[in-house]
Structure 1
Amino acid sequence: MLLRPTSWLAILAISFLLFQTACTDRPENLLRPCERCEIYLHDGLERSYVLHVPDNLPDNAPLVFFLHGYGGKAHQYAWFFQIRDWADENGFAVVVPQGTLDANRDPFWDARLTFANIDDVGFLTGLAQELQVTYNLDPEKTFTSGISNGGFMSYVLVQERP
């Protein structure tokens, strides 16, 4: 017996939700909203980011950037990868910035791609400097990581702003 397409969609949706809940041993974190979803103005563009600064974070703590992949959304990555738990358990501030939209309206990072003319290096550098000052974070302990297109952007940052 074949299932109707709507049945397959329902099974897929339920499986996805079950998978998501299985990825954490802390159910109270599943639907907890981000603490700070903020806007940073760069080159006339309002750029958003998700920020988590643990309570009682000491001065000169590290700052970690986590960059989403092509088509990704910062708030979804922040939730899925449980950045709050990482930061709380390891004593650092973490920021998940949002890339801009390409011609297909998919979020991306300008990892020196030939079709893009967005200054993501300037955006991420400026955002880092603002967060370092605002939260007294150590500029020498600022790190970046990313997935796929976000990983490429991390490489660009290492080359251009070591």
Structure 2
Amino acid sequence: MRKISDTITRLAAFRAGQGFQINGQGRDRLSDLGDFGSNPGALRARIYVPDDLPEAAPLVVVLHGCTQTAAGYDHGSGWSQLADQESFALLFPEQQRANNANLCFNWFVPSDTKRNGGEALSIRQMIETMVLAHGLDRGRIFITGLSAGGAMTSAMLACYPEIFEGGAIIASLPYGSAKTVPEAFDRMRGHGMPSERQLQKALRDASPHQGPWPSISVWHGSADQTVASSNADAIVGQWRAVHGLDHGLDARSTRSEMVDGHSRRVWRNAQGQELIEEYRIAGMGHGTPLGTAGDAALGVGGPFMLDVGISSTWHIARFWGIAKPCVKRDAKIKPAKANNEALAPGFARAFSMPKAGVPNVPHSAKRANIPPSQKPSSAAGIRKVIEDAMRSAGLMH
């Protein structure tokens, strides 16, 4: 058992901002969402909606790390830049100091990381409000986060898998790995991680959902001294089972390649659809990988926003099928030993990119039995539609 003195030392470091610490504000391109429901987690909602956003546009939910604001993370990562280019809406849940002194999402507090409770429910209510207010596509909702925000991303994907088409977890941990602050510090250092079977059970038990499941993108620096890179392996192992990729050859990556000089592994199903990807960024410490030059340049480098020559923002959006390919991409394919068969050109893209002119029928909307999006002309009308839909979905009483 860990000594109480060690735990106190870790808590002091945590309160001093030495845990999930990300600094920098940058210019604020975001606006407030306003009222979005009962908000049991007492979070703030910031949004970015490009001018002339088309009907049925995608939604990306972005979660910041400790000591950082939504605007600061947007400035560093470049998500609103990409939203302007590719026409999708952004939602930035923002932690409040009254909830956590270091502005960390409470990913290690069970009451905040359960379905229909705490901070997780607040984020779910924000998503529903955005979909209804802006006529967004329920079949193309995605979520990503860094560090503490990445751990809350894990929680949202586990608690509401029917809502998300895909998720991206950067420099973070699997769902259900910690339930207290001391456990959180241990898991960050790679100590005492639950077994793969236990993590898989935690994922399945988090919701009544039986599939289909979101695609998962995992990013981690090989030199991360804040969150051990073994957590990336744990995340992949947690999600392989629900995707049916946890037995025999299916448990191994089915393709490996170098992308912009960094390792990428991919797990595909029998139909060739890419379900899980993992980027291991060579020599990178704790932070979000950026590429601030070249064809996919996005964001601004700074503390924990690390310019390592690859834009995680762009590559994540590309994996989700909401960003167009660049003309140049340094990706040298190296098939894994488990499967030397290469996909036919464009085969994987057919699964991830929506077909032009074909409406996306959202399976999640059918399962949740939520009325289709509407855009009333008055503010009162918008609020009534939102409240009625949220009651129908069990998100408001």
TM-score, length basis structure 1: 0.70
Matched, 1:94 2:94: no
Quick check: 66-75 or 104-113, which moved more?
A: 104-113
Q: Which amino acid aligns with 1:113?
A: V
* Higher strand proportion: 1
Q: Which residue of 2 aligns with 1:79?
A: 75
Structure 1 pair 46–160 and aligned structure 2 pair: CA distance change class (3 A): closer
Q: How many residues align?
A: 133
**Which structure exhibits the higher relative contact order, with contacts defined as CA atoms closer than 8 Å and separated by 6 or more residues?**
1
Cα drift, residue 129 of structure 1:
0.2
Q: Which amino acid aligns with 1:39?
A: G
Rounded to whole Å, the distance in 1 between the matches of 2:56 and 2:100 is 40
Aligned residues of 1:74 and 1:98 also touching (Cα < 8 A): yes
- The DSSP-based 3-state class of the residue aligned with 1:137 is coil
Rounded to whole Å, the distance in 2 between the matches of 1:138 and 1:119 is 25
Q: Which amino acid aligns with 2:125?
A: G
Matches within 5 A, 1:119-158: 119-158=118-157
Rounded to whole Å, the distance in 1 between the matches of 2:151 and 2:54 is 31
Output one character per residue of 1:65-118: Cα deviation in whole Å (capped at 9) or x when no partner: 110112221121122223221101122101111023367621121224359687
Q: Which amino acid aligns with 1:160?
A: C
Structure 1 pair 98–35 and aligned structure 2 pair: CA distance change class (3 A): closer
Rounded to whole Å, the distance in 1 between the matches of 2:64 and 2:121 is 17
Output one character per residue of 1:111-151: Cα deviation in whole Å (capped at 9) or x when no partner: 24359687111011000000000000112211100000111
Matches within 5 A, 1:14-29: none
Aligned residues of 2:60 and 2:142 also touching (Cα < 8 A): yes
Could you tell me the percent identity over the aligned residues?
Answer: 22
Structure 1 pair 58–114 and aligned structure 2 pair: CA distance change class (3 A): closer
Matches within 5 A, 1:30-45: 31=27, 33-40=28-35, 42-43=38-39
User: Larger Rg: 1 or 2?
Assistant: 2
Rounded to whole Å, the distance in 2 between the matches of 1:46 and 1:38 is 14
Gaps of 5+ in 1: 1-19, 21-29
Q: Which residue of 2 aligns with 1:54?
A: 50
RMSD: 2.6
Structure 1 pair 65–100 and aligned structure 2 pair: CA distance change class (3 A): same
